[in-house]
Amino acid sequence: MSSLLFDGTAGRDDPLTGPRVTVLGEFATTGDRRLLSRFTERHPSAAAYAGFGDFHLYRLTVRRAHLVAGFGRIEAIAGEALLFPASPALAGAEDEILRHMAAEHADAINLYANRLLGLPGSDWRLTGIDPEGIDLRRGGRVERLDFETPVSDASAARVALVRLANLARQRP
């Protein structure tokens, strides 16, 4: 059994009043090429050593979580309640969506960063898409932009990306 702690107590006078969750499960190595591609898109410098024999990606199979949402607010959460259902159709289309956006809609990607996230720069890249949103990168900075509603396939992702672009164009 392994665990990861996510701590949301930064900046509080009394950290015991802040939220934190411990996710428990089992780690195992994975040889999934799609996940390796996704990882190196988000962390380009990793491509230089991703082929080394001692480089491995790990996947956590989530079993449960322990949430402390502040003093006296403690909950046990089943693993399946933590995770968004897998979307094989979207995962299978991710590479094509990223290529298409880079080749045809770099302006929209910059609008997402500039107008929706309030971030400077004109060379933002889309590095990932999943049912809940997109990952953006510029140099060493990585940012997340959530969709209004989850998507499950390329067609729904297109609708969400167009909606975000239209929303960004409406903002000064």
pLDDT band, very low/low/confident/very high, at 9 (cuts 50, 70, 90): confident
Residue-wise pLDDT tens digits, 64-81: 999 998 778 899 999 989
- At a CB cut-off of 8 Å and minimum separation 6, what does 84 contact? 130, 131, 132, 150
CATH number at residue 138: 3.20.180.10
Question: Is the domain of 102 the same as that of 77?
Answer: no
Q: How many other C-beta atoms can be found within 10 angstroms of the C-beta atom of residue 131? A: 19
d(CA 79, CA 65): 7
pTM: 0.78
End-to-end Cα, the chain, rounded Å: 49
Q: Quick: pLDDT tens for 124-134.
A: 999 999 999 99
Are 108 and 136 in a shared domain? yes
Q: At what angle do helices 88-104 and 154-170 cross, to 10 degrees?
A: 40
Segment 70-93 shows an average pLDDT of 88
How confident is residue 112, by pLDDT bands cut at 50, 70 and 90? very high
Q: Please report which confidence band the pLDDT of residue 63 belongs to, taking 50, 70 and 90 as the band edges.
A: very high
Say whether both 68 and 97 belong to one domain.
no
Domain count, the chain: 2
156 has a pLDDT exceeding 90: yes
Predicted pLDDT of residue 28: 95
Kindly tell me if the per-residue pLDDT of 158 is higher than 90: yes
Dihedral over alpha carbons 20, 24, 30, 36 (to 10 degrees): -10
**Residue 77 sits in the same domain as residue 128:** no
Q: Are 153 and 134 in contact (CB under 8 A)?
A: no
Q: Residue 60 is part of which domain span?
A: 2-82
